[in-house]
Amino acid sequence: MDFSAPHMGFVISSYAITFFVLGALALWIFARARSVTRRLKQLDDEGARRRRTSGQTET
């Protein structure tokens, strides 16, 4: 790749925004996963049980 070619700023910006957005998306998804896991563990430690209704599929 020739970094002195015309319009290289547009190419670099495209890759930068792609990695920034995908990285931020991954971080957000992992942060939510960690927060949910922590809360579930907390509830489990407290001995809480889920509410079930008849015929409800387990989620």
Partner 1 sequence: MSSIERFANPTRFMRLQTTVQPWVWIITFALFGVGLFLGLTRAPADYQQGETVRIMYVHVPAAWSALMVYTVMAVASIIGIVFRHPLADIAAKAAAPIGAAFCFLALATGSLWGKPMWGTWWVWDARLTSMFVLLLLYLGYMAIWQAIDDPRRASRIAAIVAIVGFINVPIVKFSVDWWYSLHQPASVFRTDGPTIHPSILTPLLVMGLAYSFLFLALHLVAIRSEIGARRIRQTELARTGALQ
Q: Summarize as ranges the residues that interact with partner 1 (CB under 8 A).
A: 1-2, 5-8, 10-11, 13-15, 17-18, 21-22, 25-26, 28-30, 32-33, 36-37, 39-40, 43, 48-52, 57-59
Token representation of residue 36: 């949910």
Question: Closest distance between partner 1 and the C-beta of residue 53, in Å?
Answer: 9
Determine the Cα–Cα distance for residues 5 and 50; give it in Å rounded to an integer: 61
Three-state DSSP at 34 gives helix
Question: Closest distance between partner 1 and the C-beta of residue 6, in Å?
Answer: 6
